[in-house]
Chain A
Amino acid sequence: MNALRRLTGNCTPRTLWSLAALLLLLLLAPAFLGKYWLSVLILILYFAYVGQAWNIVMGFAGQLSLGHALYAGLGGYIAAGLFFHYGIGPWAGLFAAVAAAALAGAIVGYLGFRFSLAGVYFALLTIAFSEFTRIGFEHWSWAGGSGGLFLKVDAASNLLDLRGGPVMFYYVILALAAGALVLCRALLESRLGRYWLAIREDAEAAQAVGVPVLRCKMLAMVISAALTALAGVWNAFYYNNLFPETAFAMSRSIEITLAPIIGGLGTLFGPFVGAVVLTGLGEAFTDAGDALGIPGIKQIFYGLALLVIVMFRPAGVWPWLSARLGLGERTP
């Protein structure tokens, strides 16, 4: 009860009621949504979740990672590989997946932070590791090489092996997204979370008030990588296939960063709001693009939308929207 009060302490009643209503709506959604809209909602929740995970490193601790595809890719490949080769189910496999991704995050983080790389330099290090791993997987036969890894499609719902239809995957990703939101809220309220914000604002001043900067940054990377790996596992089993050139691609890494940047970096609801905006735009433009029949037109609309958002709402949509709606998220 005490823990619950701490989690909800600074929210206005209006915020809490809105959240409860939203959660209820999401829980009931599969009952009245068609196949298409459910798939859109799944996409939104996926980007919200993975954005939330990335937000820990960049939004909270202020370290720009543009290589998060590494952790999603590792997670997906390990869980899928274990299932494919040895029939080990994803719920067991995800421990290995999370451990590997956390280790990778620890290595990248340690090297980057130990050698005090920041900003663009750190970003490039994260890209380099992701690309390096991509090429490695293209030549690793266990993982199927560049030909990819395919999981057998099975429409019969089997939660144990994460085989089944969209509704099952919907509830899994909903649980992940909701869990990540609660976790991030708890982290932000914790000592570690405060320390991350201090490092983001000024690492030297943070260290002077006793913040163990290297350890805190490392924790941000490890936690973020571990959470991202879960998204990778989910992704692999939802789509049933994995290719190194997409799983570890820079475009995958960039995709992960977009929802929190668009929604509002460092905020709790930013990744969710950003995911709604981006997925909504993406779907709308797909229809428009199909209607026009010009290749790339969807992406052009998408690029224009990004341009407009970054020019007029550089701090993200959510801080502006929340003020409009009178929804209180304490801005730390």
Chain B
Amino acid sequence: MTADFLLSLAQAVTKGLLTGMVYGLMALGLSVIFGVMRVVNFAHGEMMVIGMYLAWLGFEYLEISPLVSLPAIAALFFAAGYALQRTLISPFIGRPEHQQFLLLLAVAILLVNGALAIAGPDSRGVQLDSQFDSYEVGPLVLDAVRLHAALAAIAIALLLWLFFARTRTGKSIRAAADNHMGALVVGLDVPRLYAITFGVGAACVGAAGALMITIIPVTPFLAGEYTLLAFVIVIVGGLGSMTGALAGGLLIGVSEAVAGLLLQPSLKSMFSFGLLILVLLLRPQGLLGKASR
């Protein structure tokens, strides 16, 4: 092994870790929604893509950097998620999985084709000055946009952790997730908590979208890929576990980057799916999930 190779490997790992943080934030949304409501958001990648488009619109027409428009996008996603849960999804809680699947599939089709109708099939990216910047840490070169995105993702994940650990609403949501019946008995407004949860999950993925657009351009066809990617990440990390989602994001980010370096780039997701199969069979609660099954 040459030093050159080791350096490019280290470079790939760092790049994977940084992108992986954004993946983690995206998957966090999916995990929170499932952990609390046992609803699998099959429209997750579509939401991600909408987040990317919104950030692109903000940049293209209002000349706002995605990092600046991020809070507004997250707030918008929260409101939309809250409304979506209150109107469409709420009657489907506890229904058979295939019905939830069909409902969210319909939502996904609407979202992605709405984006297609408005923005067209061409890929849309943002041109930031920072895309040409980089930081040098020892021999490693870190892309500025990736580093900024990763730091923002970490900050948002911390905020989320604070919300669930410290605030009254966050604690109530955790109580409702642990024991639905108990939460009803002690008089928690479970429908409202569920709506907030869906809002929070949506805000995560919206924010992740705003960060992702600084790294790669968006097309409507990314949506399905992101939905699958989010699934892979949460299963590998542990469905319903917050730290699991973040760790899963990092792991998948790194494995994609390293596989892209060692193998053909087109083989990189084969690695992720192989990992998914292994985890499903050997440790279905996920690498960091609690063994409750």
B266 nearest in chain A by CB position: A138
In this assembly, does B81 line the interface, its C-beta being within 8 Å of a C-beta of chain A? no
Q: Across the interface, do A124 and B98 meet the contact criterion of CB distance under 8 Å?
A: no
Residues of A within 8 A of B (CB): 58, 64, 66, 111, 115, 117, 119-121, 123-125, 127-129, 131-132, 135-136, 138-139, 146, 250-251, 254, 257-258, 261-262, 265, 294-297, 299-300, 302-304, 306-307, 310-311, 314
B97 nearest in chain A by CB position: A119
Tally of B interface residues using CB under 8 Å: 44
* Nearest 6 A/B pairs, CB to CB: A303-B109, A296-B116, A296-B113, A306-B106, A299-B113, A303-B110
- Known: A64-B97, A132-B277, A135-B269. Contact between A250 and B224, CB under 8 A? yes
- Known: A115-B281, A115-B284, A128-B280. Contact between A139 and B109, CB under 8 A? no
B26 to chain A, nearest CB (A): 17
Residues of B within 8 A of A (CB): 40, 88, 91, 95, 97-99, 101-103, 105-110, 112-117, 120-121, 220, 224, 228, 231-232, 235, 239, 264, 266-267, 269-270, 273-274, 276-277, 280-282, 284
- Known: A128-B277, A132-B273, A139-B266. Contact between A250 and B106, CB under 8 A? no
* Best-surrounded residue of A128, A146, A294, A304 (most CB of chain B within 10 A): A128
Q: Across the interface, do A124 and B235 meet the contact criterion of CB distance under 8 Å?
A: yes
Main secondary structure of the interface of A (DSSP, over half): helix
Q: Across the interface, do B109 and A314 meet the contact criterion of CB distance under 8 Å?
A: no
A54 to chain B, nearest CB (A): 11
B114 nearest in chain A by CB position: A300
Bound CA–CA A295/B97 (angstroms) = 31
Q: Across the interface, do A135 and B266 meet the contact criterion of CB distance under 8 Å?
A: yes
A–B complex contacts, Cβ < 8 Å, 9 sampled: A58-B98, A111-B277, A111-B281, A115-B282, A121-B284, A125-B280, A128-B232, A135-B267, A311-B88
B277 nearest in chain A by CB position: A128
Bound CA–CA A139/B267 (angstroms) = 9
Q: When the two chains form the complex, which single residue of A111, A135, A310 contacts B102, counting CB atoms closer than 8 Å?
A: A310
* A contact residues around B108 at 8 Å (CB): 303
* A contact residues around B266 at 8 Å (CB): 135, 138-139, 146
Q: Across the interface, do B95 and A117 meet the contact criterion of CB distance under 8 Å?
A: no
* B contact residues around A314 at 8 Å (CB): 95, 99
* A contact residues around B116 at 8 Å (CB): 295-296, 299
Q: Across the interface, do B228 and A121 meet the contact criterion of CB distance under 8 Å?
A: no
Bound CA–CA A19/B176 (angstroms) = 51
A180 to chain B, nearest CB (A): 20
Q: Across the interface, do B114 and A261 meet the contact criterion of CB distance under 8 Å?
A: no
Bound CA–CA A200/B277 (angstroms) = 24
B278 nearest in chain A by CB position: A128
Bound CA–CA A124/B277 (angstroms) = 9
Q: Across the interface, do A135 and B114 meet the contact criterion of CB distance under 8 Å?
A: no
Bound CA–CA A115/B281 (angstroms) = 6
* A contact residues around B274 at 8 Å (CB): 132
Q: Across the interface, do B277 and A295 meet the contact criterion of CB distance under 8 Å?
A: no
